[in-house]
Amino acid sequence: MREPRHGRRIAALSLLTSVVATPLVIWVLGPHLPPGNGSKQAASQVTDNTVLTAVMTPLICLILVYFGYALVVFRQRGAAIEEGVAIRGHAATQTAWIAATSAIVLFLAGYGTWALLQSGSGGGQGPEPMVVPAGAKIPVQVIGQQWEFTYRYPSYGGLETSQLVLPADSLVELHVTSLDAIHSFWAYDLGVKADANPGTDNVVFVRTRSARNFSIQCSELCGLWHGYMSDTGQVVSSAVFASWIKQQQQIFQPVARYVPAYSPTYTPDPQRRAG
């Protein structure tokens, strides 16, 4: 760029585009970003995605404006073919670019750390979470196995079911583990994703909101029928949850003596597992 006016034009156009695009990203696109508002953690992730996208918008505008400007202003006209001017570098531009991108990366790192410390993470934090949300919690164990998830409720006699039902407006402490291969428990609508590793109690917290259904998927290749390892969970009212628990306890009672006592992890006979 041999003439300063080109730089000023690109800067002005980029600034104008950013002033228009950034509010649209925050107020129009932001509310529709994944994973939705099925839980406090999911809503927090929407906010994080919105902040990330808004911060990157001015840079994207600069790149697109520069590209468009170069296509229009610097395109080759006429039949003659001339080699472009050699670019030797511009110290001021390079310094500004390094400073701006470094500031963005440091800001996002600081913001991400702050967000984690505020409400905990939607991903597993191992058996000893660094961040534990305040308040009473409902423990639920998620057990991955080829090729389904089952769920135990230690507060209700170690009840084990093939359905994941959670009470609305509650803080749930999920303990994710596996009986065989490495699985990954992904409740997309709740903003929860945690690895299910054999011999590991992987803890993740989620604060549910109103009643809704949510999808469950194994997101770690775990064998032949991995693609079919999916289910639908439910968030229900406290009254419906209490009624459901009572019903499941009646179903579970005849087989309760055959089920191992509740434990953070399980080590079944490997000869009884296949896949």
Q: What is the pLDDT of residues 1-26, one digit of tens each?
A: 455 688 888 889 999 999 999 999 99
Environment class of 60 (CB within 10 Å of its CB; exposed 0-12, middle 13-18, buried 19+)? middle
Euclidean distance between CA atoms 140 and 166, whole angstroms: 9
* H/E run at residue 5: helix 4-24
Q: Per-domain residue ranges for the chain? A: 4-73+104-119, 138-269
Are the C-beta atoms of 173 and 2 separated by less than 8 Å?
Answer: no
75 contacts: CB under 8 Å, gap ≥ 6? none
Whether the per-residue pLDDT at 85 is higher than 80: the answer is no
- What CATH number has the domain spanning 138-269? 2.60.40.420
Check residue 230 and give its pLDDT: 92
**pLDDT confidence of residue 7:** 80
Which tokens is 15 given? 């600034």
Q: Residues 232, 213: contact at Cβ < 8 Å?
A: yes
Question: Are 46 and 37 contacting, i.e. CB atoms less than 8 angstroms apart?
Answer: yes
Residues constituting the chain = 275
**In this predicted structure, what is the pLDDT of residue 1?**
44
Query: What is this structure's pTM?
Result: 0.80
State pLDDT tens for residues 31-48. Answer: 999 898 888 888 888 988
Q: Which token pair is 199?
A: 């011999």
**Is pLDDT above 70 for 28?**
yes
List pLDDT tens digits, range 98-115: 998 899 999 988 888 887
Best CA proximity match to 170, nearest among 131, 138, 133, 216: 138
Average pLDDT over residues 184-188: 94
**Residue written as token pair 């749930």:** 172
Hey, what amino acid is at 96? A
